[in-house]
Every structure is written in structure tokens, then in C-alpha cells.
A and B are shown apart, each in its own frame.
Chain A
């Protein structure tokens, strides 16, 4: 059989995106499609697990098996799918509200488990779909519909959080540079273990602070710094702190850690979906005897 060569088009669905013109999420979708093409992934072997929010709609636009979960639960759902079938490429995607607000607990646990999934957070520092409330990554003092006097909350720092939880692949990318983002996402997918790609994806409708220009003026690209070594944990911690997380590129990579599923007793080489289910009655009689 001839090898199929796929292009980003192969990962497009017929649904037209419901995002505002100019939304950063277009860049993330494009980057994801490019990354999939780069890796020539068969769409049937990819499951995209999306959150709730404008960002979560990405699942309807990316051609693969797609799961649109309830708010904040992408991590455990993705984990169930990966454990069920290790042959699948499982990618989770959602907003900062979804992942670092309602789903924060699951996020930390997914990181610490080092389960082999890739998590793309479309971080716009706002709740887009519910019309512009502040999100857990919004800066303190940020004025929104739910914080007219400016938020009292201090922001979550997702990169530092991921580093402290033991992330084994950490990168940040920017929607304005979808090719760079695609390169990173492709690499993250290939990483054996949990990978987080925090994608800065501006909301042009509700966030008038964290705009494209805001980032263009501030973001530092670590991939262009010959002195930066993403395998140096202390340097990574120091760098994200120094730039207050306003960096893009590969931040930290550790290939030496075993993944969760490989440490889990019973997790076989063969995908779980193919496990044998039926046994002869005599087989079960032996277990029944343990109750005698």
C-alpha cells in the first residue's frame, strides 16, 4: 500500500469556526493541523479532547476522533482514552479558564502522573465564551464585567506551576507565530510523557490588555537564545520567573522519566481495548474458591 502523505487540509472538518474574526484560536487550530500533517498522523488514530469555552470548540474543527467534554475535565477524559488504547495519539485542548480554573486540580495531577498526552492550553487571560470575566491567569487589578474595580485575585502562573508539579515537556507558543507553534506542538506530541504547550491566544473581543501588540513587545523567544538549555531545570525555573512567564519556545524537556501508564500495574503492550474479556467458567471457579 502506498504511503499516504497528509497535508493540513486533511485535518479540516466542514464546520466553519464560530470564533470572532482575529481570535487567537485560529492560529492554534492552524498550528495543530500543521503539526498533525508534519507527523503524518492518521486522523482515526488521533483523539482530540476539548474543553468548554470558545477554545473548546476546536474539537469541532479539527478532523480526528473528537471529544468535547464538560467544563474543566479534559485531563481525566483524555487519560481514560489513553489508558484504554495506548496506540492512540491523545491531545487535549482548552482555555485557561477550563484548564487552570475549574480544571486546575486535574491539570496538576495529569502533570504529576506524566501520562502520555499533550495538553494545549489556549491562554487568553479571560473567559471568552461567558462574555469577558477575568480568568485565573488575568493580572491582579484587571477590570472586567465581573471585576469592575479590578480583580483582587493574584494570577496563577501556569508555567511555574507545571515546573513545580514535575512536568517533563513544557513549552509556550504564540498564535501570531503558528509555524513556530506547529513545530513545538509536533515535538510535544512526540514526547513520551505529559507535555504542556501553553499557547498565548489573544481574545480580541474581551481582553483589551493582553493584545497581540502587548505580547509582541514583551515575548522573549528562548529558541533563539543559544545560551538557553531547556534540559536545565533550575535555569527553566529561573527564566520563567525572570521574564514573568513572557517567554516562548521550549522551556523544559526531560526525556528520562517513565510515563504513568508504563508504571501502572497491568498496563500491557497490547491496547486495553483488545484485552481478552471472556474466560471459561472453570477459570472463574478458581477465583470463587478464594471465598471459601
Chain B
């Protein structure tokens, strides 16, 4: 490949970083990593912590696998990849338990489930195995950030309508409650996360017409 003399932030590399934010967003377009994304978005704080953890795991695992790409025998590559991911996730898990105990309790099993987050496996398979470490790093950060953006939006909407707070601070004034406003309890429950993401997809595709799916009969 002729990437040797390329500047670090060439247009091509920047595209790796930007595209996953909209045109090839892991959640709304590639349909990856939805599993763990939805359950922890009741509040903004765990959503952000989860997004940061995934950015870390994805960036580092992409670089590691990209460095090892010539040495991994194709037959056992899935197990090698899972081992790399699992070791990084153990690091994140222990770190959260030590420094952010309350958040790690809220996230419960979902930190462990980063291992099976299909964005990470998917990008390792599709990108890191065939590219140099630096583009692989950018691709990892970009895709994890695209995932994180959706997480933060959903977390924001659900916390605002479900609990009337943002980051734990009351934002809906008391006077609203005294004239009869009530928090919408449905937003705290799991199904509303799905519907929120459905609406995000709707808005995104309304603005970005080329993403609209073909009608198939």
C-alpha cells in the first residue's frame, strides 16, 4: 500500500474518522453493537462512560490486531481477536470498579458484554486485519465515536423525559410539576430506547436521503 508517505491527517484518514459519525454510523446504518447500546441509556452518565469505554477498547484492540495482522493464522483468528478484546475489557471493568464504583454497578453485566459488541469484532474483521496501525486506530476511534454519539443522544432524551434531570441535575423547573407536568415513566423502561432509536433513524434518513432502504417485495 502507498500509505507510507501520507501525512497523519490526510483527507483519506480524516474520512475514516468522520464517516462513521453519519454516513456509515455503526448503529443506525451498519446495525452493529445495538445489544449493549440500548440497555444502559436510561441516564446520561452511564451512557457516556459506556461510550468512552468502547472508544478505548476499540482503538486499542484495532491497533493490537493491526500490529499482529501478519502473524495471526486465519483459522484461529476469531479466538485471537476475542482474547485481545476480552483482556482489554477486563482492564476497563477493573478500572471502573476501582474508580467509578457506582457507575460500574449501573452498567452491571454490560461492561462484560463489550466483548461481544459486534462493532468491535466487525471492524477488526473488516478493517484492522488488512490495514496499518494508524488508519486502524482512526477507524476504531471513528466507529466507536459514531456509536457513542447515538448513545449520548438516547441517554439525554431518556433522562430528560424520564426523570426530568440531566446528569443528575434537575432541569425541569418545579413550577411545571405544580401545574400538572409529570415525568414520563415510559422513557425509563426498555422499550422506549428502541422507539427513540427508531425515531433517530427516521430523522437521520429524512435528512440523508441516500440511506433510505429499497422497498423489497
| A associates with B | no
